[in-house]
Structures are given as structure tokens and as C-alpha cells.
Amino acid sequence: MFLAIAFVLSAAAGVAQADEPRDFIPEAKLFYRIVSCGGSEAPPANLDPKVIEKHCTEMAKRYEYTQSHYIDPARAFFAPLLPQNLPTTVVYPFGGGDLLSALVTFPNARDITTISLEHAGDPTRLGKLDKRTKLAQVLSDFRDAVNGLLELHDSTSENMRKLESGGIPGQLSFHITGMTALGYEPVSLKYFQINDDGTLHYLSQADIDALAPKKAKKIRFTWVDTDFSEAYNNMELTFRKAGDPKAPLIVHRHIAWNLGDKAFKGSPLEKYLLAKGKVAAMTKAASYLLWNWGFVGIRDYLLANMVWMASDSTGVPPRSARKAGFVQKTYGTYKGAFLEEHNADVDAEMIKMWETQPRRRLPFRYGYPDSEKHVHLMITEPKK
């Protein structure tokens, strides 16, 4: 009988181990070292060190520019504006690839969720690239795509589409790059699905193997399909200050989801977000979708659950903000929408709001410029 019990316990332990989430931290560290040029470990033998050195020399220039033109002035700008006791949980809808801005805006954040149409991406391909030509090409493609993030502080839809396939997927690489730019290092990388009740199911190796034949499809008809498994739709990246094992951990989850009402209202994603309670929020370069009637659900979620929000003009419309008990404070100059496709009535509200408030200086770009290329920003906070 004792042998039988021991066998059952041993089998149960084996099942539990098999069901453990697969941690892709070796792959995350490879992205950290090769793509975002963090750390100083020697690269794997199959990856040409000269190609990597050239890439990292170019990345160092981009990081220096980002530090002086965005990180330093933006952190100095936000520091006196952030309320005391602001939640350390941040929700950033339409935030594809832009972990950098979430960390710049909310330096005390500990739980960050970005949501966009783009999938997180397969972390296993980078280590399989050949020594010279392929690696050099994908790193060159990555630098071209990441320029928007590091120089304009936004990830354009066009660049995100380009990296929905290939050896260096856009969301994973951009988020690790944003983390690296601010002096963090990865601690864990896992992938997950959202259960119907809004809880998270972290994928084991068995789950990943089972999903391998299923390619991730575009979430919206205007987007693009990927060339990797749907196991890699949603990622959880945990990181901390580089070289400090005692530094607090920050958890960032990127979720691939269509935030239109048909896909969002009543969805597992909505339940997941509601379970977070009160949050700090931000959005920018969001194609003016929060102005549209087709995105009422995510707008109502923000107005019901956020305690403070930073955005460009693509944030919450003034009328909706006032109705929910918020006030909005403007910075920079706004003369009209950057994109041609927008709600003209909301645009008129935005123009009037900027005209009727004192002009407050904004020393950096935050999202879209306006129609005349002026930088601008607004804070949405509860009416006192």
C-alpha cells in the first residue's frame, strides 16, 4: 500500500511539474543582450560578435538621444504632477510596443498592462539565426522600426505591422528595448491566455506544444497575420533595475486584443481589467479611437476605474470626461487633429479646450503632434 501511495504522489508531482508555466528567461536575456544591447555577456557562438557590436554602437546613439530628448525632460515634467498615493497599477490601451512611455510617465509603477492589435511574438527564433547575413538583416530591420519609439517616443502602426513576423517580433523586442533604455534587466518571460472569468492561464511547455500548429491570426481585418503560433499572443515580462537583486520587481503584460466594443464589452479582457481595481492610465497616438462610438466600452472602463490619466489629444473627449466628473488640463498647443480620419465634433471640443486655457509649456513630444506639428499633452483627473 505504501508503494502504491508513493507512486500516486510521484505521478502527481510529475503532472504538477509538467503543468508549470514555461519561463523563457534564457530567450529574454538573449533579446536583452543582442537586440536591446543590455548587459555584457558574450553572445552565443552562432551569432557574429562583429554584427552585434555594430548594432549596439548604433543603439547606443539612439539611447543617448532618447535620454536627453524624452526620458529626462518627461520625468522632470511629470514628477510634480503625479498625485500622491497614485495606484502603481497602470493600464495603457492602444499602447503597442510602448513600455518605455509607461515607465517614463509612471516611474513607481509595479504592474503595467499594454493592449494593442499586435501579438507579443515568438521568443525562440533569435537564437537560431545564422552567424552573419540573417542576423545583420533582422537587426537592421529592427533598428529601422524602433527609430519611431526612440526618437519620436511612439510605435507607429506601420512599424508594428512589419515586425508581426520574422526573427525579431515587434512587441517583445520593443518592450525589452524600452525596459533597457531605462536601466532594467529581465527576470522572467512567460506567455498566457485569459480565461473566460478574466483570470490568467500561464502556458506550460505542453500547452505551447499543443498550440504550435495554430498560427496567430490578425485580430482586426485591417491588420496583418503573423507567422508564429498563437501561444505567443500575450506575454508577461518581469524585470528590475539592472544589477540590483533587491530592487522591486515590475510586471508588464502585453495583451493582443481588439478594443472595439464588439470584442471588448463583456470579454475576458474587460473582466481582467476590472479585477485590477483603481488604476493610473495613459494613452497616446491612439488613432483617435477613444473619440469614436465603436470604442465606448474601453472609454467607459477608463472613466469608471482610472484615478489619473496622461494622454495626447487621442485621450478621453472633454464632454465624456466632464460627465464622469473629471477635469482636463492642457499643455503645449493644439490646433486640430493630426490624422484626417477623426470625429470632427470632438476635435472642435479639443481645439476650444486648448484655446480657453493658459498656454503651458511642453518640452517634449508625447504622442501625435497636432495638425500644425505642435506638441501637446493633457492630464485628465478628478474634479476637486
Quick one: what percent of the chain has pLDDT higher than 70? 89
pLDDT greater than 50 at residue 196: yes
| 293: DSSP letter | G
Place of cell 502602426: 157
Range of the domain at 84: 2-382
Least confident of 209-223, 257-271, 356-370: 209-223
What nine digits make up the cell of 307? 484615478
The helix (H) or strand (E) run that includes residue 65 is helix 49-66
pLDDT digit string, tens, across residues 102-137: 999 999 999 999 999 999 999 998 888 876 568 888
Distance between CA 119 and CA 240 in Å, rounded? 23
The helix (H) or strand (E) run that includes residue 269 is helix 268-274
Nearest of 258, 291, 255 to residue 273 by alpha carbon: 255
Q: Return the C-alpha torsion angle 354, 356, 357, 363, nearest 10.
A: 30
> What is each CA distance from 65 to 62, 130, 150, in whole angstroms?
5, 31, 8
Q: Return the C-alpha torsion angle 144, 100, 160, 46, nearest 10.
A: 60
Residues in the chain: 384
Predicted confidence at residue 331, as pLDDT, reads: 98
Nearest of 354, 255, 331 to residue 80 by alpha carbon: 331
228: pLDDT confidence band, cut at 50, 70 and 90?
A: confident
pLDDT greater than 70 at residue 249: yes
pLDDT digit string, tens, across residues 144-157: 888 877 877 555 55
3-state secondary structure of 253: strand
Nearest of 205, 191, 178 to residue 253 by alpha carbon: 191
> What is each CA distance from 369 to 70, 104, 309, 312, 373, in whole angstroms?
15, 19, 18, 8, 5
pLDDT greater than 50 at residue 27: yes
**Cβ atoms of residues 23 and 190 within 8 Å:** yes
**For residues 377 and 49, which has the higher predicted lDDT (pLDDT)?**
377
Count of domains for the chain: 1
| 151: DSSP letter | I
Predicted confidence at residue 13, as pLDDT, reads: 40
